[in-house]
Amino acid sequence: MKKFAIAAATATALTLTMANVAMAQTSAQAPMTVAANEVAKTKEATSDTWITTKVKADLVTEKGIPGSDIKVETNKGVVSLSSTVAVTEAQKTTAVAITKKIKGVKAVSADGLKAE
């Protein structure tokens, strides 16, 4: 009977220990997951900001493009170009081509560029 009691106590102790270890790992991983998500969001925001800045700089320095009149917005690598000033079809095509060459750009929408 003593052996059975010792075995039962040992099994209970092991079960509780394993449960505590599992809880500790889950608790330790939760902040890591949250931190990893925040890092990913920050990287994405930085990347989008970098893309927007690079597109804007390349458009402004391109001759024949009204770069200072073109608004550039980036969301998750998708760049949207728009302007209140009309551009020619050739300028629109050039602006899209310049934008597509930039590292990190996944897609370009130039629907907001009004062609003459």
Q: Which residues contact 115 (CB under 8 A, 6 or more apart)?
A: 86, 87, 88, 89, 92
pTM of the shown model: 0.63
pLDDT at 51 over 70: yes
CB contact at 8 A, 101 and 70: no
Residue 35, pLDDT > 60, answer: yes
- Cα angle for residues 48, 44, 55 (degrees, 5° grid): 15
Q: Bigger pLDDT: 54 or 116? A: 54
Pick the CATH number of 39-115 from 3.40.50, 3.30.1340, 3.10.450, 3.10.620: 3.30.1340
What's the confidence (pLDDT) of residue 20? Answer: 58
Query: What is the percent of the chain with per-residue pLDDT over 70, rounded to a whole number?
Result: 61
pLDDT in tens, 65-96: 999 999 999 999 999 999 998 999 999 999 99
